[in-house]
Amino acid sequence: MSGAVDVSVEGFLSAIEKSAGLLDVTASRDVVRPILTAFEEQLAQAVIAFRVATNAQHEGDLDARFTLPKDTDPYQVALAKGLMEKPEHPIAGLLPDLQQLCPIDSYGIDFGVTTGFKKIWVYFPAGEHETLDRLTGLPSMPPSLAGNLDFFTRYGLADKVDVIGIDYRSRTMNAYLRAPAECYEKETVLAMHRDLGLPSPSDQMFAFCEKSFGIYTTHNWDSPDIERISYGVKTDNPMAYFARLGTKIEHFVKSVPYGVDDPKMVYAAVTSSGEEYYKLQSYYRWRPVSRLNAAYIAARDKVEKT
C-alpha cells in the first residue's frame, strides 16, 4: 500500500491531516504546506514517515519526515524558503562542516505538523562509516562528543557512525552508532547508563534493548555530558513492546491507515529525570532499504536471521 500513496503536495498534506487527527492534533496548513512545496520535486522518490512520541515534551504535535537526494542541500533550501532563520549558534556551521569533511549519501528532514521545520539528517554511504576521531575535529561539533570519547571507545562505539542528526529547534545533535552485540545486553545497558549518570532502565526497556538494531546519543553545546542514549527496534507489531502507551497514541498506532503491513520503527530512551519514553514511526511510503533509518538496519537483520 505505501508504494502507491499520493506524494503530491496536496496528497501528502491530506495524509498528514488524517494522521494528526488520530492524535486529536490539528495540522497547520500554514506550517506544513511551505515545507512540502519547498521540496515538492523530491517527494516523488522520498521515503516518508510519521512519528509520535509518548513524552510530555512532544504532546500535541506529530512529526513528519522524508528523505532527500544528496544533490539537495536541505539547510540552504530551508533558509532560502524561510522555513527557518539562520541560527546565531555553532549549530549553524555543523552541516557545512560535515559536507566539507564527509562523503554523503543522502539527507532527511523532520518537521512538526504544528511547529514547523526541526531537523536534518545526514546519511553517510552504506558501509562507509565515519569515526568519532574525525568528527570530533570539526569546530562546530558539540564539545561533549569529544569529551566523552573514552566512553564511546570503551563500549566499541567510536568507529562506526552512520548518521548525524541536527536538531535546529532544540539545538541538539544526535550521533547514530553501530554497536557491538553486547551493548544491547542488560549488563552493558545498565553499565552505560551508570557511566553517563542516567537512571537505570525498567525491565520493559531492558527487554526492548535486547531487540535493538542501533544506538544514538544526544548532545548539546552547553553541557559536557551526553544528554541521552536511545535504542531503536524495527518491528511489525509495536504494541508488543508496551503494556500501555496512552489512549491517543495507542489509537494512532492501531489506526494509522498508511503502511499497515510495513515495518515500524520504535525508539526508547530514559531522560535524566528518570522518565522513560518511546518514539513510534510509521511509514507513509516504505522502501525495503530505507536511508531514513540508519544504514546498519540491513546488517542487523542479517545477524537476527543467522
pLDDT of residue 46: 93
Say how many C-beta atoms besides its own lie within 10 A of residue 284's C-beta. Answer: 27
175 DSSP β-pair partners: 164, 217
Give CA 263 to chain center in angstroms: 16
Please report the pLDDT score of residue 242 as a whole number.
Answer: 63
Which DSSP helix (H) or strand (E) runs through 40?
none
Task: Print the domain residue range for 157.
Answer: 2-305
Residue pLDDT tens, the chain, 306 long:
455 789 999 999 999 999 999 889 999 999 999 999 999 999 999 999 999 888 656 567 899 999 999 999 999 999 999 999 999 999 999 999 999 999 999 999 999 999 999 999 999 998 889 999 999 999 999 999 999 999 999 999 999 999 999 999 999 999 999 999 999 999 999 999 999 999 999 998 898 999 998 999 999 999 999 999 999 988 877 777 665 566 677 778 777 777 666 777 888 898 888 888 888 888 898 766 555 554 445 444 444 444
d(CA 152, CA 136): 12
Q: Cβ neighbours of residue 38 under 8 Å, at least 6 residues apart? A: 77, 78, 81, 83
Q: Three-state SS string across 140-183, please?
A: CCCHHHHHCHHHHHHCCCCCCEEEEEEECCCCEEEEEECCCHHH
Which residues are within 8 A (CB) of 51 and not within 5 positions of it... i.e. 6 or more apart?
A: 62, 63, 64, 65, 110, 265, 279, 280, 281, 282
pLDDT at residue 236, as a whole number? 77
- Residue 279 sits at φ, ψ, to 5 deg, of -120, 130
Kind of pairing, strands 48-53 and 63-69?
antiparallel
- The per-residue pLDDT for 54 is 80
Alpha helix stretches (DSSP H) within 149-290: 149-154, 186-196, 203-209, 247-255
- At 245 the pLDDT is 63
For the entire predicted model, the pTM comes to: 0.92
The pLDDT of residue 58 is 59
Number of domains observed in the structure of the chain: 1
Residue 273's pLDDT is 82
